């Protein structure tokens, strides 16, 4: 199920406009809870022998975000061309981090507590089906 949900996520992600990505990368309501979920994910990835796999996934996400914003500096608008993509460098870095958290949740949902999966996935959960997290 884990790979299928990652595929579902990736497919849905590719269909979104860049502007919509920023809304889904909303900051967590409870930063301490989010940090705890990240720490749990790092521990569980190490225990499952999947730290390298997860690091590679995070690197792919960073490349994806860079490519997304480097794809074109000229975007069509309603009446005229809009120059550049939205967001500051900090916004883009936050987007990459938020996407990495979502990928972490999906890649480790078989070993993470459901609460940690939900915390790391956050608003990105809208891109995957509603199946219960399996353990």
Report the distance separating Cα 16 and Cα 127, nearest Å: 10
Backbone angles phi, psi at 58, to 5 degrees: -65, -40
pLDDT tens for the chain, residues 1 to 135: 567 888 889 889 989 888 889 889 988 889 999 999 999 999 999 999 999 999 998 999 989 888 887 765 555 555 555 555 667 788 888 999 999 999 999 999 999 999 999 999 999 999 986 543 433
User: What angle is formed at CA 82 by the lines to CA 81 and CA 87, rounded to 5 degrees?
Assistant: 165
Sign of torsion over alpha carbons 79, 90, 46, 67: positive
Reference 119, options 43, 25, 33; nearest CA is 33
- Domain borders along the chain are 2-67+85-127
Single pTM value for the model: 0.82
């Amino acid at each position: 199920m884990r790979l299928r949900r990652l595929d579902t996520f990736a497919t849905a992600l590719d269909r979104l406009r860049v502007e919509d990505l920023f809304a889904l990368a909303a900051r967590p309501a409870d930063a301490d809870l989010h940090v705890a979920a990240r720490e749990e994910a790092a521990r569980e990835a190490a225990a499952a022998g999947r730290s390298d796999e997860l690091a590679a996934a995070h690197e792919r996400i960073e490349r994806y975000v860079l490519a997304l914003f480097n794809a074109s500096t000229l975007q069509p608008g309603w009446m005229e061309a809009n120059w550049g993509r939205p967001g500051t460098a900090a916004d883009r870095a936050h987007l990459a981090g938020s996407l990495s958290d979502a990928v972490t949740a999906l890649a480790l949902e078989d070993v993470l507590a459901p609460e940690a999966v939900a915390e790391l996935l956050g608003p990105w959960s809208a891109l995957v089906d509603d199946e219960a997290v399996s353990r």
